Structure 1
Amino acid sequence: MGKITGFRDYPRVACPQRPPLERIEDFAPFRQPLPAETRREQAGRCMDCGVPFCQAGVRDQGAWLGCPLHNRVPEWNDMLWRGNGSQALSRLLKTNCFPEFTGRVCPAPCEKACVCGTFGQPVTIRDNELAIIEEAFARGDLGPHPPDKRSGKTVAVVGSGPAGLAAAYYLNRRGHTVTVLEQSPQPGGLLTYGIPAMKLEKEVVARRLALMEAEGVAFRTGVTVGKDLSPEELDRIYDGVVFACGAQAPRTVPWAQDGQPGFCYGLDYLTQQAMALEEGRESSLTARGKRVAVVGAGDTAGDCVAVALRQGCAGLTQLIRKPASRYGEGAFAGDAQGEASARFQGPIQRFSTQIKTLLRGEEGGLTGAVLDTPQGEEEIPLDLVIAASGFAGCQETALRARQAMPRPEKVFSAGDMVLGASLVVLAIADGRRAAGEADRFLMGYTNLI
């Protein structure tokens, strides 16, 4: 595969990034594409390794080993090396319906499983994947391809995040008439509202949604199932229903002050920023000029750090309940933490530290917090606290609607409401699984899984 000696001939070259202090001034993408020949060399580093663990997609000691979508990585790397972009696209789309999303936001378990990385640097699999799909869009290779024949069956997909979109994509390809029901003003779920624009441009999401519409998928927004549309109506109108409602309910913290100024949950903070950016205004939940604490250590916390920097916060601290020893080397060397270190001249994390209580002034505004630290209690000044310490599951309205469906045999679930808060790539894989199960129910067999 690729160039037989490519892994020795070419060093790993990642996509260049804009300097941290420059990119925190806007929400534009911070990764830049490589020149075409350099990208070809990166594909040529892929080894003919015999057992391509990169595409294994299995759980190993609690972590994913290889791609959960079972992407045929060596095959499309070989095609990319040979300059055959159309064939590389064909091999990529056999397993991944949305490589423009995973190529931007996936943590790349494929690269962690790359044999080339055992004694050196892994192949730039994620970047190669993104180059294949973006070059295909640029060439015009991704026009709409509606199914040749319709099955006569109707399916509702509740939720338009990555799992819901994947389920809708595959069910539509099988010829079913698919309607996606979304409670937000715009479809896309987490892709539209939960992932900041500098990591996933909203034009990229809109491009895919437009393509799906052209292929026959219908989107209805502003519809909350269980409120605007009852379970009985769903059962009457559709032959099958796939619930893919995510895991948006935040994990509460004992010191939470819901509805009080100066306190919010991470997803609410990110959603408000996404809506504001779309409308060309400043977010009503802004960190501009404020001393901010982000509570949590996961991806959502990192995204909140990145957004607070771009909003122009005056100070920033990331509070992490667990000790530093619980995290591996380089765990907090991500893009957002690098930006914060550049902005504030050093790391912003405080480990083994929790908020004990929030402090408020005479007029009710947030003034600070009392911290529980290894050295004892400590009071720090704060103007905004963002709790991003995980998710508790699906929203109650969606759960009640799912449980109240009159005929449960025609109802299927996918994504984070099944898996818990997880990765975009896992949500896509689970969306395809649910689509296969729904298709088998509707047709008696399936070729989707």
Structure 2
Amino acid sequence: MGKPTGFMEFDRQDVVYRDPNERIGDWDEFLVQINDDTLKTQGARCMDCGIPFCHTGEIVERMATGCPVNNLIPEWNHLIYQGKWQDALDRLHLTNNFPEFTGRVCPAPCEGSCVLGINDPPVTIKNIERSIIDRGFAEGWVTPRIPQNRSGKTVAVVGSGPAGLACADELNQAGHTVTVYERADRIGGLLMYGIPNMKLDKGIVDRRVQLLADEGIEFKTGVEIGTHISADELKSKHDAIVLCVGATQARDLKIPGRTASGIHFAMDYLRGSTSSLLGSDDAPINAKGKKVVVIGGGDTGTDCIGTAIRQGCESVVNLEIVTRPPEERADSNPWPQWPVVFRTDYGHAEAKAKFGEDPRMFAVETVEFLADQEFNVTGLKTCMVDWKLQRPGIAPFSPIEGTEQDIEADLIFLALGFLGPESFVAETFGLQCDGRSNILASQSDYCTSVPGIFAAGDCRRGQSLVVWAIREGRETAAACDQYLNAMATA
């Protein structure tokens, strides 16, 4: 490495955010760019370890370890230390189609598996990744790569989230003619409407989409399969179809009072907020002056908190059914697994800055929604739960008597994750599904039960990370390319 003793000499420089009290007043990105000298020393912390687990991208006991797209992290850390930014960008693009997305929204499983992280804070990999690609665009190094030869084969990619865009990019570069179909009015899927602007500026998404269009990919928005175009018509137009439709069927909370007005799925709320920012005439759900409760943690729950605060909510509470994670790794959660530890995300920090306390309540179950005579939601009933006392066949926890509590609310957002793709997709194409309602497709070739139709991303593997979607998009493109090449030589 550029400086073999760097990890002993330099401390970790965490990602820098704008002050919470400042950033909640706008919808601009909250990240702050770190200067080149600091990034150089951060790259120098990379250890030259014998086996760099940071880029393994494996699953160990159902937990991710390392980077799913197998980024060549030690290599570009070394290049940044040497000041070779363009070379670092070339290394980064070898494995990751969209580092400007992952460098902002990925939770960085690479850092959780960093060898340095066994005893010290890990290398700030994610921040270096984002800085490399941002520098690349700023310097004009990222330019259209237009394929010189075309195969004569056409592919339809259905869905324009990270899996669909990665798959389309790879297939286009392989020389095939690619058309991406998206039912929304803008390209980007989850990247456009599922992640708030302050976390991923939509101009950054549009910039990459324009680059892909310049490279020859055709994008068609406002097209829903089965409504605007039939499966048979799609099959007749294309030699192969890749389904990257995501896992958009939200998990519900079917308890008494669920039909009261003012209870919404988190993604409906986030989608409407971003659509409004982009100039849509649709009236979004507005939290201004409202008492907000977000049920469910994770990125989506945090995004709801940050959005509600920017809209001017009166208060915000975040309920999580799980117990509060420990400050340090538990013995049952060894390295190189992703460390399940207590973290404060941007939305939690903003809530604390505005309201004086962390909004989260752990080990809390919601048992009933409360409403007034007009059936508008007024709050919810909760109780604490004990995860050491299971209820076989019912739940892995038990309610604790005497801990019942009513919480006031004018708006409640359900951020409980997703069950899988909407069923009409598989039905339209006559595809088999697995036991979790995901489209059945082997990870070896990503081919569904119908030849010539492939599936990638959340619709195949279930709700997951953007970086896993990119990996599946890339691998599916390779399998589809092999299929098309075999067709040409048959």
Q: 1:240 maps to what in 2?
A: 240
The aligned amino acid for 1:133 is I
Q: 2:374 maps to what in 1?
A: 363
5 Å-filtered alignment, 1:1-12, equals 1-12=1-12
**In the alignment, does 2:345 pair up with 1:334?**
yes
Q: 1:259 to 1:236 in 2, by over 3 A?
A: farther
Compute the displacement of 1:399 (Å). 2.5
- Identical counterparts, % of pairs: 41
Q: 1:282 to 1:38 in 2, by over 3 A?
A: farther
SS across alignment from 2:271: helix
**In the alignment, does 2:195 pair up with 1:195?**
yes
TM-score (ref. length: structure 1)? 0.95
5 Å-filtered alignment, 1:271-310, equals 271-279=271-279, 284-310=284-310
Q: For 1:214 and 1:112, how far apart are their aligned partners in 2? A: 36
Q: Is the 8 A contact 1:439 1:445 kept in 2?
A: no
Q: 1:14 to 1:352 in 2, by over 3 A?
A: closer
Q: 2:411 maps to what in 1?
A: 384
Q: For 1:297 and 1:385, how far apart are their aligned partners in 2? A: 13
Residues 366-400 of structure 1 deviation map (CA, whole Å, 9 limit, x = unaligned): 22222234334322221001011111110122222
Q: Which moved more, 1:316-325 or 1:230-239?
A: 316-325
Q: Which moved more, 1:72-81 or 1:2-11?
A: 2-11
The aligned amino acid for 1:389 is L
Q: 1:444 maps to what in 2?
A: 486
**In the alignment, does 2:123 pair up with 1:123?**
yes
Q: For 1:190 and 1:427, how far apart are their aligned partners in 2? A: 11
Q: Is the 8 A contact 1:182 1:224 kept in 2?
A: yes
Q: Which moved more, 1:305-314 or 1:96-105?
A: 305-314
TM-score (ref. length: structure 2)? 0.87
Q: 2:41 maps to what in 1?
A: 41
Q: 1:413 maps to what in 2?
A: 455
SS across alignment from 1:94: helix
Uncovered stretches (5+) of structure 1, i.e. residues with no partner:
none
Residues 227-278 of structure 1 deviation map (CA, whole Å, 9 limit, x = unaligned): 1111100110000000000001101111376775311001111101110111
Q: For 1:282 and 1:183, how far apart are their aligned partners in 2? A: 17
Q: Is the 8 A contact 2:326 2:341 kept in 1?
A: no
Q: 1:407 to 1:55 in 2, by over 3 A?
A: closer
Q: Is the 8 A contact 2:260 2:371 kept in 1?
A: no
SS across alignment from 1:279: coil
Q: 1:117 to 1:74 in 2, by over 3 A?
A: same
Q: Is the 8 A contact 2:325 2:342 kept in 1?
A: no
The aligned amino acid for 2:405 is E
Q: Which moved more, 1:400-409 or 1:164-173?
A: 400-409
SS across alignment from 1:264: strand
**In the alignment, does 2:103 pair up with 1:106?**
no
Q: 1:382 to 1:54 in 2, by over 3 A?
A: same
Uncovered stretches (5+) of structure 2, i.e. residues with no partner:
330-339, 385-399, 433-447
Q: Which moved more, 1:191-200 or 1:357-366?
A: 357-366
5 Å-filtered alignment, 1:21-420, equals 21-255=21-255, 260-279=260-279, 284-324=284-324, 330-373=341-384, 374=400, 375-403=402-430, 408-420=450-462
Q: For 1:347 and 1:275, how far apart are their aligned partners in 2? A: 28
Q: For 1:402 and 1:85, how far apart are their aligned partners in 2? A: 46
